[in-house]
Amino acid sequence: METGKPAGRHYGMDWLRIGAFQLLILYHVGMAFVPWAFSIKMTAPIGWTVVPMFLTNPWRLSLLFAVSGFASAALLERSPGLGAFVRSRFARLGIPLLFGVAVIVTPQPWVELVTQHGYAHGFGYFLLHDYYRPQQLDGVFMPTYMHLWFVVYLLVYTLVWGALLTLPKAWIAGVKRMAERVLAGPALLPFGIATFFLIHNFVSPGWADTHLLINDWSAHLDYFSAFLFGVLLRHSHAVRTNVARWWKVAGIAAILGWAYLAWAELSYPGDMRMSYALGLLYRVSRSTEAWGAIVALVGLAESHWNRDSKWRPMLAEAVFPFYIVHQTIILVVGYWLLSTATNGLERFLILVAATFLGCWAFYLIGRSIEPLRPLIGLKRRTVAKPVSGAALLV
């Protein structure tokens, strides 16, 4: 019987997850140079840098939640039950989150306070007297999860999805059929573009997330919908096939959307206001790029990237440790660079190299020390047992 599930592991989605997180790291390095708010700035804001940033800005996080939904659905298939799955998610996400808040992210608010708010104390004083005391300093919450908000949201979405799975199976099957009627046909692109547009222009105008969980309504509609789309992809052959069918058209749409955003950002820099018609086209273009890029990349993963490599297991395992530590490296190295006689390009190149080298060191050292493995999001090592050929597929 056709279940709609990929046969075994979907390597294409693994490659997409690996690539998406590496792009996110580059994006966060770029945030230190653009006019947008970030915890540290390497130079005076450089206006044109928003153009390459908009290549990923509208869709990067939605894609991450989509591939996380796909991966979560695959993990649930291999779990003995829903309860065991939820417990494993708490451990794999919750333990690194707590470790991150307590240890990994601690330099980040200190760097932000020192460089942007004139905080006068050293890092040791900050830890002993300020960080672990619940408070706000110049709008910075402490203790804080900083970039690990993604893990908080993913854990919450996983729990909500788990609760939804306790509903009658007939209801769940009915919702799946409704989603397939829309996403497995020609409405795939216009429906997704319209959804992005409605979420970010009527629920909460704009694309600014608060990352505070309790009031981030447009983000939740966007990201939780993307998470559920990833779950659907895991279980629907029809939707995956349709996404693969439309990926070229979606890619062209995404490029055209980005081209208009780039023109608008260069033509109307800073706070310059554009006409209503141009502003409406800007919002439509952003939604078009967002959904078009997601469909194009998932389509590529389905049609061209679903093949294994000897490097894939290690790269896939390294993704979460990389994510946990990357922004701390960016801010710490960036803070040091501010005291050096380097120009903007040199700082960018040093930051990219230092961040990726630091991430690899964090992962390779952490994976070799058993007590550290669960703290950085890795499974504990187990004694290998003989398995059947079928089991090796997953």
CB atoms < 10 A from the CB of 194, how many? Answer: 14
- Tens of pLDDT along 24-48? 999 999 999 999 999 999 999 888 9
Write down the H helix ranges in the chain. 11-30, 50-53, 60-78, 82-89, 95-99, 107-117, 123-125, 149-164, 169-183, 188-198, 217-235, 237-267, 276-303, 312-337, 344-368
pLDDT confidence tier of residue 385, bands split at 50, 70 and 90: very low
pLDDT band at 61 (very low <50, low <70, confident <90, very high): very high
Q: Average the pLDDT over 260-280 and give the result.
A: 92
Burial of 169 (0-12, 13-18, 19+ CB in 10 A): exposed
More confident residue, 139 or 362: 362
Rg (CA), the chain: 22
Query: Half-sphere exposure of residue 26, counting CA atoms within 13 Å on the CB side?
Result: 15
Tokens of 303: 């049609």
- pTM value? 0.93
CA 49 to chain centroid, in Å, comes to: 21
Percent of the chain topping pLDDT 70? 95
Measured CA to CA, the distance from residue 346 to residue 350 in angstroms comes to 6
Higher confidence at residue 382 or residue 269?
269
Residues near 380 by beta carbon (within 8 Å), at least 6 away in sequence: 370, 373, 374
Contact (Cβ atoms closer than 8 angstroms) between residue 108 and residue 39: yes
Q: Which two tokens stand for residue 171?
A: 């209801």
End-to-end Cα distance, the chain: 19
- pLDDT tens-place string over residues 3-24: 455 657 899 999 999 999 999 9
Cite the beta strand spans of the chain per DSSP E.
135-137, 140-142
44 burial type by CB count under 10 A (0-12 exposed, 13-18 middle, 19+ buried): exposed
Tell me the pLDDT band of 275, cut-offs 50, 70 and 90: very high
The chain-wide mean pLDDT, for the chain, equals: 93
Residue 6 has what pLDDT? 62
Query: What's the one-letter identity of residue 103?
Result: V
Q: What is the mean pLDDT of residues 101-114?
A: 98
Q: Which of 198-207, 262-271, 280-289 has the highest mean pLDDT?
A: 280-289
For residues 117 and 130, the answer to whether their CB atoms sit within 8 Å is no
